[in-house]
Structure formats: structure tokens, C-alpha cells
Chain A
Amino acid sequence: MTAHPQTSGYNFAYLDEQTKRMIRRAILKAIAIPGYQVPFASREMPMPYGWGTGGVQVTAAILGPRDVLKVIDQGADDTTNAVSIRKFFERVAGVETTTRTADATIIQTRHRIPEAPLREGQVLVYQVPIPEPLRFLEPRETETRKMHALEEYGLMHVKLYEDIARNGHIATTYAYPVKIEGRYVMDPSPTPKFDNPKMHMSEALQLFGAGREKRIYALPPYTDVVSLDFEDHPFEVQRFDRPCALCGAEQVYLDEVVLDDRGGRMFVCSDTDHCESRQAQGLRGELSGEAAQ
């Protein structure tokens, strides 16, 4: 294959070099101040806001010709958003893509962290809809910036207090606020809180891009990430009372799949790559026979 035959008419990875430099500068600043939201001049992308324009710009800025890209949407490699972003980069950058977590150097994700532990050298790029964890409590941007600057995070606990007062436990299940290195409170994007512990001391670099809100933030490898909680209501992840119906995996995040209109349902791994590689190893769940038929 010559340089990039299928990219003619586009610069490598769609964005022009000046834009990429601007985004890289924002990324470097974000890495230098873990959890701090760095404003950047987000560009129009050939997809609607809410489809991952922030994540795509971050990926485009860090992508090199030798990178291997994996894109997941809610853990799955084969859903619309994941497929179209993967195709986009195949076309405009000509990079190799994969569905296997272990083979990828860059993983762009919408709302999940892969089950398989990430290693040094990998980069996880999150698509973020609303980067400001305090937004629904304090609508003024000037005020939330000041609150971050002065470390006034009492309001975040007001939200958790309300949860307990209404539901008897902390009912926030996704976008669960975390504190980075004892300083900035950060919204981990709408990942289930099940994935919060995976962010803590992760070996991989984690980058967060919010296209509509024009913010980039980051967690360098081996960063301290603590989920907020109360002393008498400690942070807990979701638990599932059954293993994956296809591969029998336990301690993983499961999706509920409705099978028929008579109440039949199954619970399967949300991370499709994890599930498939386990099945390839011969591991089976209770419904894997039926599902194969």
C-alpha cells in the first residue's frame, strides 16, 4: 500500500495539521493537570454532536500511521456508532483497525472501559457529552469554573446526599463523580460506575474529549482516582446475581437482552470482545447452546 491511497483529498486523519497541533497542546496541558478541563477550539466534524465529535478529534490528533484503532460503543464493537467511527478512520487515515482490546494501541470508547486490563502504551479516548460534573447543580459556567479553581466541591456531596435521602442509597449509577489526585472533581463521562475502579492507577493513558462543550481533560497513567462517597455510605459498584449467559463470565458488566414478549431475557457481557475471546477459549454460559442455534 502506498502512503494513503484512499485518503486523497483529505489530510491524514481528516483534521489539518494546525488543528491537530492545537488539540495536542490542549491534550498536553490536560495531562499536566489531571482532571482539569482544558478549553479547545473544537471543529465541526462530519457527524452530529453527540456522536462522539470530541472523541474523534482527540483520536485524530494522536493517531499515527502505525497505530491500531479499536472503537467501542457501550462495550460493543458492532454497533452503529462504533462501526461508523472505525470506518471513518479506515478511510481518512488508512490505519489498521481491530476489535481485539489487547491488539489496539488506541481505543475510542463511548461509555465503557474494556474488561481486559489495559497496559502501558495504550490510550483510551472517551467521548464525553457533558464534561462538567457540577453542571446540573450549578448552571453558570463562570461559577463552576470558580468552584473548581477554589476547590469548592461541597455541592457534589449535596447531590449524593439527595440520592440517599430519596432512595436510601447512592442511586447515581453512571457519570459517577471522581476526585483526581485529591484535587479536581471530574465527570468520568457516562460510563457505569462499575468501571470507576478501573480508572484508578490505570496503566493506560486516558483522554476525554467533549466536542460540543469544547473541553479536553485527561488522566495520565498511574493516576489516583477516588469515587466520592459518604463515610457511612461507601462507594460500591453494581453487582450482578448471575454470570454472562454466553461465556459464563462473572465480575463483569452485563447487558440485559429481551428475548421474547413473554418476559424472557438474558444477561450477556457488555464488552463483546471479552465475551467472544472467552467463548473462543471454550468457555460457555447457560444459554450459549440455544443462542448458537
Chain B
Amino acid sequence: MNAAAAQIENLDRSSEALPLLSVRSVSKAYGARIGCTEVNFDIWPGEVLAIVGESGSGKTTLLNCISTRLEPTSGTIAYRMRDGEMRDLYQLGEAERRFLLRTDWGFVHQNPADGLRMTVSAGANVGERLMAVGHRHYGELRATATDWLGRVEIGADRIDDQPRAFSGGMRQRLQIARNLVTAPRLVFMDEPTGGLDVSVQARLLDLVRGLVNELGLSVIIVTHDLAVARLLSHRMLVMKDGRVVEHGLTDRLLDDPQAPYTQLLVSSILQV
């Protein structure tokens, strides 16, 4: 049975011969200090990868490098475009890169105020990406916005309210809707549950897990919370002092940590 499953997986892999994103020896130095160094990994379509580690371990630097928000000092990052071609992200023109960022990619910030337009209504926040790629029909934009608000459990009667009037959890869900409306293939999340209380966090994680399965998204999620990684991710990357200390399937890595630092991290979780 297991052999059959592995065979099917292999078949899937061969049809998707290339990874969605391929990171090769990426380093970022801030002067003499190291942000992250010699990072290598691939991410495949439909896969959720968690980057974990303590504060200052280079998680966010790495995420910013991959999402073209911060140019790495060395290394290459290749992305498989919709036409199937692998392209080096930092060889793309700025226009192409920005287009990628607002169509094929999503970026969910830790603080929703960074990712939302706080002074325009929820509906316009969701519709902005669509308008940016040329949608010019108000009725359709509004219908799409209503649909997406529903999918992230925001009432349709809140469509004309500004995010300022929303709670933290609602803002975060609105930010997710705003990013997913153009059907991106890859979504970056930087501590999406930071600053939310545990019950809101649980609902948000449930929602994200549902959407990821439903839409077949690839997600790179940065978190310091191992529980979040356990719930959402298929694979994990553990970082310390800018280096990847361990890399593997989430369940294997959490149940049988190999690197001393990962063992420390796993044993540091408080048991209730």
C-alpha cells in the first residue's frame, strides 16, 4: 500500500518535473553581520513549508530575500512562471517583479495594517488587485469581494466598513482574502498568527488550512510557534544564527529532532 502511494507520488513529481521555487545558496549580509547564509531549498506546488527559529535567526531576512523585497548578497532564487519557465527572480525587470507580487504571489504580513489599505473599505481592499490587473466592472468586483469575504468568514454587511473598524483577527482574515483574490500560486506569510489570542489563532489556522487544501496553494510561512508549523506545514526548515540547522518533514522533525538546537526548541514547548 505504501509502495503504491509512493509510486503515485513519484508520478506526480515527474509530471511536475520542476519545483515552483528553487533557492540556491542564498546569503544576505548586513555589513559584517550575517542575516542568513547558504540557504538551499525547493518548494513544490501545493506544499506548505514552515521556516522556524528564534528571534534574530534570519527567518524574516530569508523570507524578504525570497519574496524580492530584499536583494540577497549572493545566491539565486528561481521561480517557475505560469508559462512553465524557470526564471531567476533578480534577473526580472522591476515591472515584472511587481506584477508577480500582486498577481501570482501573496504576502501576508504579521501586522495587517502593513498589508491593508486602512482608509478604504474592505470591498475595495479585496478588489484592489483585480483592478490593478484591469478589471473594470463594479458589479463583478463587488460580487467577487462579497464571495471572498464570505470565504474568510467576514459578514457581507461589513463590505463597506474600513479595516480600522475591524478586530485584529478580522483584519488578518481580510488581508488573506485580499491576497488570494487573484488566485496566486505562492503565498508568503510572516507570523500570520502573531498578536492574536489563542482561540482566534485556532480559527485562523483552521481557515488557512482549509484554503490551502482547497486552492492547492504553496505557502512559505515564517513562525516561531512550533504548533503553527505542526498544524499547517508539510516540511520545516529550522534556522539558527542565519543558518539552516535542520530540514525535513514536519512530523519527523518534531517527533524525532536530530540537531541539538532543534531538540532544544522542541523540548522548550510548554506542556499544559
**Chain A interface residues (CB < 8 Å from chain B):** 137, 146, 150, 152-155, 157-159, 161-162, 164-166, 229-233
Once A161-B123, A165-B121, A165-B160 are accepted as A-B contacts, the answer to whether A154 and B128 lie under 8 Å apart by CB is yes
Whole-angstrom CA separation of A118 from B112 in the bound complex: 51
Once A150-B94, A157-B131, A158-B117 are accepted as A-B contacts, the answer to whether A165 and B137 lie under 8 Å apart by CB is no
Whether A230 pairs with B133 at a CB distance below 8 angstroms is no
Question: Is B82 on the interface with A (CB-CB < 8 A)?
Answer: no
Q: Considering the complex, which residues of chain B in the window 115-146 have a beta carbon less than 8 Å from any beta carbon of chain A?
A: 117, 120-121, 123-124, 127-129, 131-133, 136-139, 141-142
Whether B132 pairs with A154 at a CB distance below 8 angstroms is yes
Query: What is the distance, in angstroms, from A22's C-beta to the closest C-beta of chain B?
Result: 30
Whether A230 pairs with B128 at a CB distance below 8 angstroms is no
Query: What is the distance, in angstroms, from B260's C-beta to the closest C-beta of chain A?
Result: 45
List of A residues within 8 angstroms of B128 by Cβ: 154-155, 158
List of B residues within 8 angstroms of A229 by Cβ: 136
List of B residues within 8 angstroms of A154 by Cβ: 128-129, 131-133
List of A residues within 8 angstroms of B142 by Cβ: 165
Query: What is the distance, in angstroms, from A231's C-beta to the closest C-beta of chain B?
Result: 5
Once A150-B94, A230-B137 are accepted as A-B contacts, the answer to whether A165 and B124 lie under 8 Å apart by CB is yes
**Chain B interface residues (CB < 8 Å from chain A):** 94-95, 98, 117, 120-121, 123-124, 127-129, 131-133, 136-139, 141-142, 159-160
Whether B117 pairs with A232 at a CB distance below 8 angstroms is no
Q: Say which residue of B98, B127, B138 sits within 8 Å of A152 (CB atoms).
A: B98
Nearest to B137 among chain A residues (CB) is: A231
Query: What is the distance, in angstroms, from A113's C-beta to the closest C-beta of chain B?
Result: 26
Once A166-B160, A232-B137 are accepted as A-B contacts, the answer to whether A161 and B94 lie under 8 Å apart by CB is no
Whole-angstrom CA separation of A139 from B142 in the bound complex: 26
List of B residues within 8 angstroms of A159 by Cβ: 120
List of B residues within 8 angstroms of A150 by Cβ: 94-95, 98
12 A-B residue pairs with Cβ-Cβ distance under 8 Å, sorted by A, are A146-B94, A154-B128, A155-B132, A157-B131, A158-B120, A161-B124, A162-B124, A164-B138, A165-B124, A166-B121, A231-B136, A231-B138
Once A164-B138, A232-B139, A233-B138 are accepted as A-B contacts, the answer to whether A158 and B124 lie under 8 Å apart by CB is yes
Query: What is the distance, in angstroms, from A72's C-beta to the closest C-beta of chain B?
Result: 35
Known: A150-B94, A165-B160. 14 other contacts (CB 8 A): A146-B94, A150-B98, A152-B98, A154-B129, A154-B132, A158-B120, A158-B131, A162-B120, A164-B138, A165-B121, A165-B124, A165-B159, A231-B138, A233-B138
Query: What is the distance, in angstroms, from A250's C-beta to the closest C-beta of chain B?
Result: 31
Nearest to A164 among chain B residues (CB) is: B138
List of A residues within 8 angstroms of B131 by Cβ: 154-155, 157-158, 161
Query: What is the distance, in angstroms, from B159's C-beta to the closest C-beta of chain A?
Result: 8
Most buried by B among A152, A153, A157, A232: A157
List of A residues within 8 angstroms of B123 by Cβ: 161, 165
Whole-angstrom CA separation of A146 from B101 in the bound complex: 15
Query: What is the distance, in angstroms, from A138's C-beta to the closest C-beta of chain B?
Result: 9
Whether B127 pairs with A158 at a CB distance below 8 angstroms is yes
Q: Say which residue of A137, A166, A232 sits within 8 Å of B138 (CB atoms).
A: A232
Query: What is the distance, in angstroms, from B208's C-beta to the closest C-beta of chain A?
Result: 25
Most buried by A among B95, B123, B124, B137: B124
Nearest to A228 among chain B residues (CB) is: B136
List of A residues within 8 angstroms of B121 by Cβ: 162, 165-166
List of A residues within 8 angstroms of B117 by Cβ: 137, 158
Whole-angstrom CA separation of A230 from B123 in the bound complex: 15
Once A150-B94, A150-B95, A155-B128 are accepted as A-B contacts, the answer to whether A161 and B133 lie under 8 Å apart by CB is no
List of A residues within 8 angstroms of B133 by Cβ: 154
Whole-angstrom CA separation of A164 from B137 in the bound complex: 12
Listed from nearest, the 3 A-B pairs whose CB atoms lie closest are A154-B132, A157-B131, A154-B131
Nearest to A153 among chain B residues (CB) is: B132
Nearest to A230 among chain B residues (CB) is: B138
List of A residues within 8 angstroms of B141 by Cβ: 161
Whole-angstrom CA separation of A187 from B251 in the bound complex: 57
Most buried by A among B123, B136, B142, B160: B136
Whole-angstrom CA separation of A165 from B136 in the bound complex: 14
List of A residues within 8 angstroms of B138 by Cβ: 161, 164, 230-233
Most buried by B among A150, A152, A161, A231: A161
Whole-angstrom CA separation of A161 from B124 in the bound complex: 7
Whole-angstrom CA separation of A233 from B142 in the bound complex: 13
Whole-angstrom CA separation of A137 from B131 in the bound complex: 14
Query: What is the distance, in angstroms, from A140's C-beta to the closest C-beta of chain B?
Result: 13
List of A residues within 8 angstroms of B160 by Cβ: 165-166
Whole-angstrom CA separation of A164 from B98 in the bound complex: 28
Query: What is the distance, in angstroms, from B200's C-beta to the closest C-beta of chain A?
Result: 27
Query: What is the distance, in angstroms, from B191's C-beta to the closest C-beta of chain A?
Result: 25
Whole-angstrom CA separation of A164 from B123 in the bound complex: 11
Most buried by B among A137, A153, A158, A164: A158
Whole-angstrom CA separation of A233 from B137 in the bound complex: 8
Whole-angstrom CA separation of A155 from B139 in the bound complex: 18
Query: What is the distance, in angstroms, from A230's C-beta to the closest C-beta of chain B?
Result: 4
